[in-house]
Each structure stands twice: as structure tokens, then as C-alpha cells.
Amino acid sequence: MTKQINFTIIPEDPADTTKARRDYANFCAVAHTPFDMTLTFCDVRPLSDRDIQSAETSRTVTAPVVARIALPFGVIPGLIAALQEQVRAVQEAAAASEPPAPWPKGPLH
């Protein structure tokens, strides 16, 4: 007989800079194999004139890889749900903080 244990995973304290690291990425490439999905995070910076000239010829731009993470497919549905929940929370917070529409000018009929 197997025993089920419910638990919560708590990330380490991000204030402890000796262990925690936060990297910035503004681009994510997604690829997969039959066994897992790989997310490659890159930091795409504004292009220099030289970068633009090179891209016009090669039709590609290289960006430094910040992190490459391979995830088993079983993790993906939970990741998608967590991302959707976070985006929803951010959108609701932004909508709540928008200033009210200005009072209309002119006569009201």
C-alpha cells in the first residue's frame, strides 16, 4: 500500500543573495523532444547599427542565453496554469489602478 503525503514547496529566501539569483530575459524560445520541453531564455538588447547590418545579410540576430531549462511534460500543465493565474492577477491589478475616466466636457443631456 502506498502512502500519500501532501506538501508545499517553498523557494529559498530571495533576499539571501549568496544562493538566490535573478536573471533577466525578454525572449523565450521553446523546443521539444519526445521526452521533454526546453525553454531557452535570452536577453535581447537594442541592436547596434552593426547588428542591424549583419541581420540584413544573415537574417538572424544572436542573443546571449540567460538560462536553458528542460522540463518533463508532466510539469507543463501546472506551469501554464500558474503563468495564466499570475497574468490574470497582474491584469486585474492594472485595471484596478487605472484612473477613472475624465468627466465629460460640455452640456449633459
Q: Model confidence over 24-82: pLDDT tens digits? A: 999 999 999 999 999 999 998 888 888 888 888 899 888 899 999 999 999 999 999 99
pLDDT of residue 2: 82
Sorted by sequence, the CB contacts under 8 Å of residue 41 that are 6+ apart come out as: 23, 25, 27, 28, 65, 66, 67, 68, 69
100 band by pLDDT with thresholds 50, 70 and 90 = low
Q: Are 40 and 68 in contact (CB under 8 A)?
A: yes
Q: How far apart are CA 66 and CA 75, in angstroms?
A: 21
**CA 48, 50, 52, 55 torsion: positive or negative?**
negative
